[in-house]
Amino acid sequence: MDTAPPVTETITRRFSCRTYIDKPIPDKERTLLEEFISGDKTGPFNTTPRFQLIAAKTEDHEALKGLGTYGFIKGASGFIIGSTVKDLDYNLEDYGYVMERIILFATSIRLGTCWLGGSFNKSTFSQKILAKQDEFVPAVAAIGNIASKRRFFDKAIRWSAKATKRKHWNKLYFQETFDGILLPETIDSFSVPLDMVRLAPSASNRQPWRIIKEKDQNIFHFFLQRTKNYYERNKKIFKMADLQRVDMGIAMCHFDMTCKEIGIEGKWTVEDPEIGNLPELTNYLVTWSEETH
């Protein structure tokens, strides 16, 4: 690929593709994707999930057999499967961050993708990546050539997840406290990364990220606002990972990549700002601070 499109264009173009043209990914794109996946996979919290592209070529199409997605995906050329170490601090946030980087790269070379957090067979995907005893597969991504027509099933899934509806800016972003109003026109270029966070995919489109900007400083505190009983219910019924933590990593990825593209350097730290009166089910996660030279 000669010139990568802007990350803002890639984020805006990405969507959850559930219907694919049932043919292998072209050799050029497959090679680019495999090279990208084999690169640095360290997340902001310094854990290193590992990822693998399964069945992207005609000769190993058999590898897709038995990988159950319960009818949610049709015609995918392959899957990006990842694993991370169990019971490791921030493992899921880093998993979301690194996987979303891979997904955005795939989008930039015109491939379709779809995050799968619950609608896949955990044991068969774990076997494909040869997950070790201390590892697990929190989520996978279908990948392939985008079909021109979507199934009615796709539209129904998007409607049920309210995939085209995003929370308003004032429900996600605040100044100083959760009562403070943050206006996009008051923060110059930083409105762009925050807009890209709004477009981030999330489990059931819950958008659990909340961000507080410090007054007069380009410091942004990321909070996880959980959906009541969401993790507990899905863990019990579907044995799902804590996907809202994965979602936070995805949001961090969008913010970080966009800042870098528009020339803003920053760093991630864990320093709880101890903001009082947090909303129910809301916990501090991480802080991004601009680095000036």
**94-98: average pLDDT:** 98
pLDDT tens digits, 204-240: 999 999 999 999 999 999 999 999 999 999 988 888 9
Of 4-13, 110-119, 135-144, 259-268, which range is least confident? 110-119
Instruction: Please enumerate, as own/partner, the contacts of 230-235 that have beta carbons within 8 Å and a separation of 24 or more.
Output: 230/203, 230/204, 230/206, 234/118
Q: For residue 246, how many other CB atoms are within 10 A of its CB? A: 26
Mean pLDDT to the nearest integer, 114-139: 88
Question: To the nearest whole percent, how much of the chain has pLDDT over 70?
Answer: 88
Q: Which of 286, 246, 229, 279 is nearest to 117 (CA)?
A: 246
Residue 239: the pLDDT is: 87
> pLDDT tier at 101 (50, 70, 90 boundaries)?
very high
Report d(CA 151, CA 8) in Å as an integer: 27
Q: What is the mean pLDDT of residues 39-67?
A: 80
In the predicted structure, residue 69 carries a pLDDT above the cut 60 = no
pLDDT, tens digit (0-9, with 9 covering 90-100), for 255-276: 999 999 999 999 999 999 999 8
Residue 38 CB neighbours (<10 A): 11
pTM of the model: 0.91
